[in-house]
Homo-oligomer: A and B are copies of this chain.
Amino acid sequence: LNHNAFAKAKQRLQNQAKPPGSLGMMEEIGARLAAIKGTIDVHLTNKQIITCAGDHGVVEEGVSAFPAEVTPQMVLNFVGGGAAVNVMGKHAGARVKAADIGVNYDFDPDLPIFHKKVRHGTDNFTKGPAMTREEAVKSIEAGIEIVNELHAQTPVDLLGTGDMGIGNTTPSTAIIAAFSGLSVERLTGRGSGVDDKGLAQKIAVIQKGLDINKPDPKDPLDVLAKVGGLEIGGLAGLVIGAAAKGIPVICDGLISTAGALIACELAPAAKNYLFASHKSVEIGHKYMQDHMGLEPLIDFKFRLGEGTGAAVCMELLDLATRILADIKTFDEVGISTNS
């Protein structure tokens, strides 16, 4: 981080023709982006959203309102451009690309997605680990490789993370339960919309996964392997890869934030590059953000994923850069500052 640019940003914001601090969170974000980019005139031109996809063996326990085959169908929908993240990414001026980290389907190799499949979905974590430690590492490496490939083509100015994976609020909730030690009951939400019976089942399934696998919260790879998911590993890799290249990264909802949490547990400095987008309806999300000390920007009652919350906040981070650079100071416009 560039402390000189941060100080310059703070000073400019203080001298702009407005009451000091009166643009609240936008000012803080602008200053953070200046520190990351090393300039007070930041331009977030190349915005990219990567939606990591994976399947989950635990779906056979009846934890989701949707069937597993929706995962590959939605990946095709992302390619077609008609999904929520496409529409919202377009509005934000961002390119959206899906990544297969662990979908239980063989995509056409010519499909314009990142082909990074580690395996065809995880195992059911109520019966043993979701994946091996080696597979967990590979899933993280997949995310890092995606950032490196994208950034080598055209330098990425802002990265947004998103997820697709039927059942993936279950491993994400298991992850925050493992790290926080809070009760599964307190952390578990309805995901894409299970009823009361489904919610009780989901809580029992997560508890069983934790009891059987005993993930070690001091070992983030152990947590990811035992109760995580392949796309969650990919999402962790995106955050680590972006931070390593100095790219600011906005994480989306429960699943993306589970990935960011794994990333920050592995590499705490990654947090300097991380922005929380929204506060999800999924209750576990708040506990993840608390655990990482991240403050969400918006609270629109989203519970969709895909990168939709990240897309909204890309526009807002862009706005923060213009606020910092383009609002003139009292001196620049010659206005009195006291009576």
A contact residues vs B (CB 8 Å cutoff)? 16-20, 22-26, 65-67, 69-70, 73-74, 76-77, 80, 82-84, 87-88, 90-91, 192-193, 281, 297-304, 306, 308, 312, 315-316, 318-319, 322-323, 326-328, 332-339
User: Please, which residues of chain B bring their CB within 8 A of the CB of A77?
Assistant: 17, 328, 333, 335
Chain B residue contacts of A192, Cβ below 8 A? 19, 22
Inside 8 A of A17's CB, which chain B residues have their CB? 74, 77, 82-84
Contacts of A83 in B (CB 8 A): 17-18, 327-328, 333
Known: A24-B281, A24-B301, A281-B24. A91 touches B328 (CB 8 A): no
Determine whether the beta carbon of A333 is less than 8 Å from that of B80: yes
Asked if B304 contacts A19 (CB within 8 A), the reply is yes
Instruction: Tell whether A339 pairs with B67 under 8 Å between CB atoms, given A82-B327, A312-B316.
Output: yes
24 contacts between A and B (CB under 8 A): A17-B77, A17-B82, A19-B65, A19-B66, A19-B193, A23-B84, A23-B302, A23-B304, A24-B281, A24-B300, A26-B300, A74-B335, A76-B333, A77-B333, A77-B335, A82-B326, A82-B333, A83-B327, A84-B323, A88-B323, A90-B322, A91-B319, A312-B316, A315-B319
Closest to A334 in B: B73
Complex-state Cα separation, A260 to B164, whole angstroms: 42
Q: Is B299 touching A299 in the complex (CB atoms < 8 A)?
A: yes
C-alpha spacing A301/B297, complex, angstroms: 11
Q: Which residue of B lies closest to A64 (CB)?
A: B339
Chain B residues positioned under 8 Å from A193 (CB to CB): 19-20
Q: How far is the CA of A316 from the CA of B312 in the complex (A)?
A: 8
